[in-house]
Structure formats: structure tokens, C-alpha cells
Chains A and B, each alone.
Chain A
Amino acid sequence: MSMIKCEINGLPVSVPAGTTILDAAKGVGVTIPKLCYHNDLDAWAACGICVVKVEGSPKMLRACATAVGPGMKVVTHDPEVVEVRRTVLELILSTHPNDCLQCGRSGNCELQDLSADFGIRDIPFEKRAPEIPRDTSTPSIVLNPEKCVKCGRCVLVCQEMQNVYALEFIGRGDGTRLAPAADVTLEESPCIKCGQCSAHCPVGAIYEKDDTKAVWDSIKAEDKHVVVQIAPAVRVAIGEAFGYEPGEILTGKTYTALRRLGFDAIFDTNWAADLTIIEEGSEFVKRFAGDGPLPLITSCCPSWTDYMEKFAPDFIDNFSSAKSPQEMLGVMSKTYYAEKAGIDPATITMVSVMPCTSKKYEITRSDEMFASGYQDIDYSITTRELARMIKQAGIDFPALPDSECDSILGQYTGAGTIFGVTGGVMEAALRSAYYLITKEDLEQVEFEAVRGMEGVKTAEIDVKGTKVRIAVAHQMGNVQAVIDQVREARKKGEELPYHFIEVMACRGGCIGGGGQPHGATDEIRALRTRGIYTDDEKSKLRCSHHNPEIKRVYDEYLGEPLGQKAHELLHTAYTERPLYKK
């Protein structure tokens, strides 16, 4: 790769060709402010706050969208540049409601931070903040166009990263809105509720629908037995809200915090992930033996199932009918646990803590989500919402002792915990499928081929002489290539390229979910991923079929995997849906 030599603020810089001024400056310890730019996305150059002076250029250039050139002399900060940036900020603030105290992003808003850094005290421009109603149509996310700074991140995420095209730039100039097309609400649009728009929004214009009040009310209600579960990816990210490094495993402290919040039973979604693996693994083994359509495709991610139902309904028969771990734990709480503990399931309120906004949608997505005779999950809150609840309750999270979660839906294996990263469901399934096919355990349980941030990972796994071809895709936009490959093979009547496919809608998997603490970049995703794999490595049991609490639930309650009872409680169905509801 050819290197470019240039100068930033008089400092010599040598960077690979194509590096932007923004990144080159970072390399020599110079931070150029940015608002619309995000590392996950191509520069859109909408806001203009990153302007710099380049010798020989009559106008200031945007550092996010300008590559360094040989011999280029850049000045990133001088009084004139700073003044221009201040004006950019003042103009944005002149159309912003500035009601930070009631804003969900207060304290971690990129616009608020910039205003603080620049010491903005007065806005010299006429105030024009139009009143536009919020879109609260989905159960997952809220659009508040009044707060929108028109940076474009959400549209780029929705279109380029996720390939969903629910959001678009509607209108032009200062009348532009970032909204669904064709006068529909978000609920009526192709939106898959992944919440990546909310995770990338620099301000409070898109945020998770807050269900914490309902959860508080349930905890307060004396006649309710309130059960909670935490998802794999929550434990390695919740610490970010309390000053920990990303990836710090805080399972024990989180259990303690939940107990102090007043939950009556603390369970772990990882347990249900082990249960999912037994069902889905058995399903794979059955289909691989010729009974049922291949490839089998994972269905734990509700944004992915929503996407498939709308964009690729020709794959409905390929989806695993096994429910997601969240739903499995819900139904098992209101049946098996209720029975064992002698609690009337009508009095159980089931809360889940998820890294995900789409899980809020999943809890009522179809009739099968009421398999216990009640709504199996009553409320699903995100990692961000739980962090707020812990703070509201005055719990000093870092000072908490560790504790264990409750039996009988709590103990988990390393296979359950890796559900939180891309490739994890596949790896967990392979660990057990290998056993189910060969009746022998793997000597080495790690499958390096399915790990990492490559958009699509493929491998051929040798199961004692039998070749199993697999593919793993994450970040919704990457899945299209895999779907097309399978369609092509089907059309030509060729051998299928894959037997088993895993898909997660968010970049990096659930650790990069739309409900996780804000500010995720690939560096942060890598740290959270590391945390998940460490949790797996330190687990004594690393295969789902070794989990004694899982064995027990089959012995005492469910019977056989894929059996009648398992089918009634743990499986679901999919249906074709139009992209636009009207």
C-alpha cells in the first residue's frame, strides 16, 4: 500500500493512501470535531463541523470526506476555523428544541458535548424549531423529528448497512425529514425494528421505546411475582453505563442489581439459549438426515425473521421453527417454573433485559408468543433502560457484590453465552450437533472459522467424515449475498451451497445490538466480543447438551427434543408479510 506524506498542524504525518484528514489527524493526537460522520458509515459531509484549512485551497474542506494528498499542509485548528465551527453549531442549535433535561440522550448526546466544548451560551440566530409529531407506531423505537439534526446517519444505516430502506430523506433543504416514505408510519414501513438507527443517532431524535415505567409498576404491585432474565450480550456492555471498559463481564453484579431492584426471580437467557440449541440442533440433525428442507436458517434474531418474512418469504420453510431464547425462557417461566414453584402463572410478570429493540416487537409478534396461555414475555427492556433503572434506584453498581442467579432456569454453559456474538449460535449448535450426530463430544469446541467481523463467513465442517457446509452473516445488508447464492443454486437445481446458515441483523451480532449503550464502534464491538468468548472459556461446561438444568427440564417436563410438548411450547411459525402495510 502506498504511503502519503503530509503535514497536519506542522506535524509530519505518513498514512496509507486514501486515509481521510480526520483519521490522519487522530493518528497524531489531533481531534477534529465531528457530528454527522460515523466510523461505520461512508462520509456524508452533511454538518460541516469538521472543516479544516488546506494550503492552496480557497475554501475550507471537510476532514471526514477529504483524503490526504502528498505534501498536503493542513491546519485543523486556528481561531478562524474554530469560529466557523461555532457558527455551524449555533445554526444547528437554532433549529433544535434544546430541552436537554427531558431528552433521553442527556448526558451522552454528541451535540450536547460539542455545545459544552465550544461553550455555547447564546444563539445569535432566530429560533426556528418546528413542531413535528413523534412517530411512536412501533413497539421498539420512537422517531422524534424535532430533535433531528439531519446528519443522515439513520438513513445510511437503514439503507446501506441494513438494506431495509425504511427511512429516507423526505423533502429538501431545511424542510428535510428523515422518515419513512409514502406517508406511512414506521410500523407500516419495511422497518425491521433492529434499532441500529437509534444506536447511531448522535442526538435524541431516535430512541428506544421506554418500558421502564411498566416494569417499575409490576415490581411495585404486591400481587405480582416478577421474573427477569438477562441476555448474553447485556453482561459485557452494561458496565459501559457505569464507567467500566467495554467487554467487562458483569454477570454477578447484574444479578445482584436485579435482586436489589426488587425482582422476585433472576433467570438467565443463556439457559434458554442452551435450550434453543437442543431444539435447533436436533432440528438440524433431523433435516440433515433428509427429513425437512435445507439449508436450516437460525431464527433467534427477530429483526432477521421480520426481514425474511418481508424480503425473502421464499425462505420461510428454511427457518428453524425453534423460538428465540428470550421467548423460550418466557414460556418456561410461566409453565414449568410456575408449576415447580407452585405459583399461579397469571400472577407472573416476565421481564427480559435485551441488547435489542426488536425483542420488544418479538414479544407479541405471533400467537405462538402466548404459548403458556398468557403473554409469555410481558416487557422487554434494553440494556440502556436497565442501566437507567439501576441509577434511579440509587444502586452503586461497581460496589455491588457478585451473586448467583436463581435455579431452575439459570445455569448456563459457554455455548449459551456465545449466542451474543456473530457466529455464536452456529458454534453452539455445532458443538451439540456434532454430539447428536456422532454420539461423541468434540475434543476442541472452538470453531474459529465462524468468529470475527467478516460480513459473511463460510466454512466446511468435518463431522467424522461428513461435510457440513455453513455460512454466518451479520449486519442485515450482508445477508443478501448468501440468500442470492442459495436462490441461484435452487434455480439451477445445483447442490446447495450451505446446509446451515446463521444470521444476526446487527453488526457484530447482539453485542452490537440496537439497545446497547451508545457509541459502539468496531473497537468497542471487539472488546464486547472478547468478553463473551472469555465468559465461554471460563465456563466449566461448554456444550448445551451438558447443562444439567436442561437435562432436567426434558426429564421432568418436556420429554423429547422436538417432541409434542416441546413443539407446543418452544416452536413457532412464519408468514409472508408485505413491505408496506398500506
Chain B
Amino acid sequence: MTTIAGKEKMLTPEIEAFIEKWKGKPGNLIMVLHRVQEEFGYVPRDAAFEVAEALGIPVAKIYGVITFYHFFKLSKPGRNQIAVCMGTACYLNGGQDLIDECERILGVGLNTVTEDGEFSIEAVRCIGCCGLAPVLTLNGEVFGKVNTKQMRRIIQQFEGK
């Protein structure tokens, strides 16, 4: 049984070793997909097919999981990833304004990547620091109590880096 014909291998030996370690354990698919996304920044289609073959699960089940959880991405994000919190506290404190400002500065909408591949913006659910609302993260670094005026400066810190 070949899932898809004639493709070069995408998964690294490290990921394959990781899969081997988790094979047969309950909940392994989520762990493996986390590992894949950590490597590529998203779950590339070919990687999903290889995971299916390695774990002996239908491709459909893998996509069921990837598309269920917002965390997993199916397309390559920008080199710098802006994640604006839209949990209740941040939402009430102007999360949407931050998103609007990001979109204005970068010229792209939510879940899209700037033409040069540098930045992408996404809205995320509560990231667990409501006291700092509104919050955003840039490449995992947390920025709290942000207002729209600070947005350009924050982005500039990462430009070209």
C-alpha cells in the first residue's frame, strides 16, 4: 500500500526516531504532530502523509486532528509569527485593535504571510496572562499591555533579524 506515489522523504531522522519512540502509545498522534510543527513551523502535507504511514493511521484521521485544533497549521507561517490574544480579557481590552493595526502596518490579513515571507499574523485563544491584557506574542516573546501606537516599534525590532 502506497499512500502517495514517488515523493522524496520529508521527515528528518530525528523526527523518525521520535515517532519510533511514541509508536503504539496512546495520544501519540498529537505528540508527533507537535514535533513536526516544531520542526517546520507547520505540518507540511508530505509530512502528514509520512506520519500516517509511519504510525499506520489513515491520512484522513491525521487531517481530522490537524484541522480540529487551531494550534496546528497547514501552511507555512512567516519567519516572524505575531500571535494576538483574543481571549476574553484581551478581547475586551482591544485585541481586535491590535490585529487591525498589524494588518495595516504589514498590509496582509489574518492567517496570511507578507510577500517577503517575513511576518504572519494570527489570532489565538487565551495564552494565560490575562493580567497583561491585551497581549501578543512575537516568535514566542510576550508583549503585555500593548497599545496600537507601540505596534510599529515592536514589529521593527524583528525586521531583518
Q: Taking beta carbons and an 8 Å cutoff, which residues of A are in contact with B?
A: 159, 165-172, 180-183, 190, 310-313, 576, 578-580, 582
Contacts and interface: CB of A to CB of B under 8 A. Distances in A.
27 contacts: A159-B58, A159-B60, A165-B58, A165-B60, A168-B61, A168-B63, A168-B64, A170-B63, A170-B64, A170-B67, A171-B68, A180-B60, A181-B62, A181-B63, A182-B45, A182-B48, A182-B59, A182-B63, A190-B58, A311-B1, A576-B2, A578-B3, A578-B5, A579-B4, A580-B3, A580-B49, A580-B59
A579 B64 contact: no
Contacts of B60: 159, 165-168, 180-181
A292 B4 CA distance: 30
A165 B59 contact: yes
Nearest to A180: B60
Interface in B46-63: 48-49, 58-63
Contacts of A182: 45, 48-49, 59, 63
Interface-centre pick from A181, A310, A582 (highest chain B CB count, 10 A): A181
A169 B66 CA distance: 11
Interface in B19-40: none
Contacts of B61: 165, 168
Contacts of B45: 182-183
Contacts of B59: 165, 181-182, 579-580
A569 B53 CA distance: 39
Contacts of B64: 168-170, 181
Contacts of A159: 58, 60
B1 A312 contact: yes
A576 B2 CA distance: 9
Contacts of A181: 59-60, 62-64
- Label chain B's interface by main secondary structure: helix
Greatest chain B CB density within 10 A among A159, A311, A576, A580 is at A580
Contacts of B48: 182
Nearest to A169: B64
A582 B4 contact: yes
A165 B49 CA distance: 14
A580 B4 contact: yes
A313 B1 contact: yes
A229 B86 CA distance: 62
Interface in B61-92: 61-64, 67-68
> Which 3 A-B pairs have CB atoms at the shortest separation, nearest pair first?
A181-B63, A165-B58, A168-B60
B48 to A, nearest CB: 7
Contacts of B1: 310-313, 579
Contact of B67 (A167, A172, A579, A582): A172
Given A165-B58, A580-B4, 6 more contacts: A168-B63, A171-B68, A172-B67, A182-B59, A311-B1, A579-B59
Contacts of A165: 58-61
A443 to B, nearest CB: 44
Given A159-B60, A181-B63, A172 B68 contact: yes
A313 B3 CA distance: 12
A180 B48 CA distance: 14
B68 to A, nearest CB: 5
A478 B68 CA distance: 29
Give the interface centre of B1, B4, B61 by most chain A CB atoms within 10 Å: B1
A578 B3 CA distance: 6
A58 B64 CA distance: 33
